[in-house]
Amino acid sequence: MSEPATLVTMELMGKEYRVPSGLTILAAIEYAGYKLVRGVGCRGGFCGACPTLYRREGSHRIFTALACQTLVEDGMCLVQMPFVPVPTKPYDLHGITPQPTTLLRFFPEIAGCVACNTCTRACPQGLPVMDYIQAALRGDIERVAMLSFDCIACGICSSRCPADIKHYAVGLLARRIYGKYLVPPSEDLAVRVSAIEAGRYDAELRKLMELPLADLRARYEQRNFETVAEQHRDHSATQRYNSPMDPVDYQDELEGV
């Protein structure tokens, strides 16, 4: 360590530990001597495995956070929630006809939402959770899909909800219905899939596979590059980003070594 960090005191499941400031809650727990099995996953704010409840000095509130995304603070009194059970009855997405009452039918408990907003306040992703539950209640599937998209299924909202709603499961079903039924399928894709199934590219691919290395390399070097998509035109530098020099043609080094 180049310079000793100041130490803070945290209370983890009733025991006090002195840990360096500037660590995430996750790293602080490990620093304190725990080898985590539960309560950790991606360590990068994507998987929702590390929901944490804590209180701070000078406030009566319970705060919620992702342990991997939040700094430890002096006087924090915390516990990890390894798991928030959100079992759902199996459904067959492929047999659903989306209707305003679809979400309500699968999750009747959303009608019990008292609009207390606790879920929104607790969500570590900062999502308008109450609003997507309310949108679900009134059958606005698209809105649920949009508002809930960044959900990482940490379950914090469900652990705090007085109406015992399974928020992330509601969001997930809405998104799948939206993706499958409410967005049109891509026509280009369908055309390409039939071409592949008809074996349209087989011969050419086989030819490439049989090409001597030098010829294949020549084909590679002669590739023409698509001009950058319309919407990126004003970002001249993205053009570079899509250029042949980045990031891989370092065959020279590889061969030389």
Residues 79-138 that bind ligand FES (CB under 6 A): none
CA atoms within a 13 Å half-sphere pointing along the CA-CB vector of 71: 7
Note the helical H segments in the chain: 25-31, 102-106, 118-122, 129-137, 141-148, 156-160, 167-177, 187-197, 202-210, 213-221, 236-241, 251-256
Binding span for ligand FES by CB under 6 A among 64-72, 83-91, 110-118, 221-229: 64-72
| Residue 41 touches ligand FES, criterion: CB under 6 A | yes
- Closer Cβ to ligand FES, 38 or 217, answer by number: 38
Q: How far apart are CA 229 and CA 239, in angstroms?
A: 9
Q: Give the footprint of another protein on residues 195-254 (CB under 8 A).
A: 196, 201, 204-205, 208-209, 213, 216-217, 219-221, 223-226, 228-229, 232, 234-238, 240-242, 244-254
- From the list another protein, ligand SF4, ligand FES, none, pick the one residue 176 interacts with, judged by a Cβ distance below 5 to 8 Å according to partner type: another protein
Type of residue at 107: F
CB 77, min distance to another protein, A: 19
Tell me if 86 sits within 8 A of 158, measured CB to CB. Answer: yes
For the CB of residue 171, give the shortest distance to ligand SF4 in the complex, in Å: 7
How buried is residue 131: exposed, middle or buried, by Cβ count under 10 Å (0-12/13-18/19+)?
Answer: middle
Q: Are 79 and 54 in contact (CB under 8 A)?
A: yes
**Residue among 8 and 49 whose Cβ is closer to ligand FES:** 49
The residue (of 53 and 153) whose beta carbon lies closer to ligand SF4 is: 153
Residue 149 interacts with which of ligand FES, ligand SF4, another protein, none, CB < 5 to 8 Å by class: another protein
Supply 42's token pair.
């991606």
Smallest distance from ligand SF4 to CB 177, Å: 18
Q: What is the CA radius of gyration of the chain?
A: 26
Work out which of 12, 28, 48, 133 binds ligand FES, going by CB under 6 A.
Answer: 48
Residues that bind ligand FES (CB under 6 A): 40-43, 45-50, 66-68
